[in-house]
A and B are shown apart, each in its own frame.
Chain A
């Protein structure tokens, strides 16, 4: 943390992501649909693992509630 090309930018970003996650919960979309991970551009394998994992989790969540309502109406 803090070891960022943009200096303490990732620390600030983490606080803002936490805020948005809270907002997503209040909206009803669910904070689990947003994730933040710290990886550098040299960590290709970790990046692939994280995105694959998140894709699988998103499949389990199913379509966005907003999309479901649009389809059903």
Chain B
């Protein structure tokens, strides 16, 4: 899922400072699951802003709404009236949601209350870690299901490097070395011979290096 983290309240106060009617808009999908921008977080942020701005002597209208997904037009259309009746949409979705708002409602002003951090999973309660870099050319079959693009600091295709120490990455003793993980899993599966194969330099044009990406499926088009 997309993982996000709410911005500091002080930064959000600055984002809304020049506006009087603010709609705090949550998203019911990824950011709900990672506790960054779902209905509950919308309620907490809206209440916090009401109190904080009032203490600062500002009288603002701060309303709340949450849609199932901010990244799809039909769900956004459900809050068209609310968006149009406010000066600012303070989006608690990922960066896709914020952009979807201004694409769907060209006159709307939108600001992000959440920093979109990475694509990952909840390893345990309260801990999320990165798993996918959305590089557009998945090679997990070669690496025992562990992504060296997202989880190796150098995105090495033939690791580990010399910075792998006691199974951890030299950048941070909390970060597992992805290639150590790959080695351990291949060994447990009796497939260490896989490491004798050299993975050639890859074509990075499917990743961000090729510019903004686009996916078109003619079979799904209706016009």
Q: Measuring CB to CB, which residues of chain A are less than 8 angstroms from any residue of chain B?
A: 23, 26-29, 65-66, 69
Contacts and interface: CB of A to CB of B under 8 A. Distances in A.
A29 B52 CA distance: 8
Contacts, number: 26
**Chain A binding surface, main DSSP class:** helix
B10 interface: yes
A25 B52 CA distance: 10
B6 to A, nearest CB: 11
B108 to A, nearest CB: 27
A26 B51 contact: no
26 contacts: A23-B9, A23-B44, A23-B48, A26-B8, A26-B9, A26-B10, A26-B48, A26-B52, A27-B9, A27-B48, A27-B51, A27-B52, A27-B55, A28-B51, A28-B52, A28-B55, A28-B56, A29-B51, A29-B55, A65-B55, A66-B51, A66-B54, A66-B55, A69-B54, A69-B55, A69-B57
Interface of B: 8-10, 44, 48, 51-52, 54-57
A66 B49 CA distance: 12
Contacts of A27: 9, 48, 51-52, 55
A65 B106 CA distance: 38
